[in-house]
Structure 1
Amino acid sequence: MIVLRAADLGDLSLLQSWDEEPHVLESDPNDDWGWETELGRSVDWREQWIAEKDGRPIGFMQIIDPYLEDSHYWGEVSRDVRAIDIWIGNVSDLGKGYGTEMMRLALDRCFLQDHVTSVLIDPLASNVRAHRFYERLGFKFQERRTFGLDDCYVFRLDRADWKRKA
């Protein structure tokens, strides 16, 4: 069973080491997460989680309200949307179903809020494995879009589709 706990400054070295893993760099090559600052900053529009399996950290997730998020990364979005970032930290934990369970936990959190109608995710256009992963969860391709230096596919999961899959 995987549980989520709030990420904090005690996770700094862990997250920095995961950021250097080749599979993480491959999926997120151009972002500087600013862990030293962001882990100590509490904002209403973001949740940052460490996923643990049997008490051992295995991954990171962030759920944001892109309408309120201060960098406006997603551009203009409605108030009823959430966006998720997710990765597995160690390559040895890939392919074990942990990402699926983490996403289900995150999506449950998002859709617990009655006003949330959909969730966005933006894997790199080149990350075909991620595209298939999100499609299996019910996400649908929306558009190809450039975020900073990253060529991404935007996928969307609507509440009705999540309910059908859940």
Structure 2
Amino acid sequence: MIRLRPAGPADLVLLRRWDEAPQVQAADPNDDWQWETELHRRPDWREQLIAELDGRPIGFVQIIDPAREESRYWGEVPADLRAIDIWIGEPALLGRGHGGEMMRQALARCFAVPAVTAVLVDPLATNVRAHHFYQRFGFRPLERRRFGDDDCLVFRLARTDWRPGEGG
């Protein structure tokens, strides 16, 4: 069973190792998560979560309010959105449905807030596998956009298109 728990300073070594994993590098090559600093912070606009399978860490999920996020990564966006980053850190556990369960739980967390109208994701434009993954949950392509050095395809899942328990 997958459980999401808050990430903290004790996860630093694990998250650094996952950052170097080929599948994480391929999906997120230019981000500096600043783990040493960020794992000590708990801003109310962000959740950083470790996914555990039967108590063993396997992946990471971040949920943010993009309108309130301090770096303004998403630029000017309407209130009442969420944005998700997600990955499996353990290569041996790819392709086993764990990412789907992580995403189902992340979406349930997002839409548990009644005011949230939609969720955004921003995979690399070249990451067709991720595009298909998100589309199985009902995400629809919104725009192609550059975030720093990354050429991304932004997807949006409206609350009205969300089907709890589906996708993956």
What's the TM-score bracket when you normalise by the shorter of the two chains?
over 0.9
Partner of 1:46: 46
| Corresponding letter in the other structure for 1:108 | A
Superposed CA deviations along residues 18-47 of structure 1, whole A, max 9, x for unmatched, are: 000011101000000000000001101000
The TM-score with structure 1 as length reference comes to 0.98
Structure 2's unaligned 5+ residue stretches are none
Pairing 1:37–2:37 present: yes
Instruction: Check whether the contact 2:62–2:86 (CA below 8 A) recurs between aligned residues.
Output: yes
User: Once superposed, which parts of structure 1, at least 4 consecutive aligned residues long, lie more than 6 Å away?
Assistant: none
Q: Which residue of 2 aligns with 1:8?
A: 8
1:19 corresponds in structure 2 to 19
Judge conservation of contact 1:125–1:144 (CA < 8 Å) in 2: yes
2:153 paired residue number = 153
Question: Is 1:75 the counterpart of 2:75 in the alignment?
Answer: yes
Runs of 5+ consecutive residues of structure 1 not aligned to the other structure: none
SS at match of 2:163: helix
Counterpart of 1:5, as a letter, is R
Structural mapping, 1:65-104, within 5 Å: 65-104=65-104
Equivalenced residues, count = 166
Q: CA offsets, 1:82-140, max 9 Å, x none?
A: 00000000111100000000000000000000000000000000100000000011100
Partner of 2:129: 129
Asked if structure 2 preserves the Cα contact closer than 8 Å seen for 1:137 and 1:165, the reply is: no
**Contact persistence 2:104–2:165 (CA under 8 A):** no
State the SS of the aligned residue for 2:123: coil
- 2:106 paired residue number: 106
- Specify the SS of the correspondent of 1:104: helix
Amino acid in structure 2 at the alignment position of 1:88: I
Identity %: 65
Q: Distance in 1 between matches of 2:165 and 2:101?
A: 13
Contact 1:138 1:165 in 2 (8 A): no
Aligned partners of 1:112, 1:164: CA distance in 2, in Å? 11
Alignment RMSD, CA only?
1.0
1:163 Cα deviation after fit: 3.4
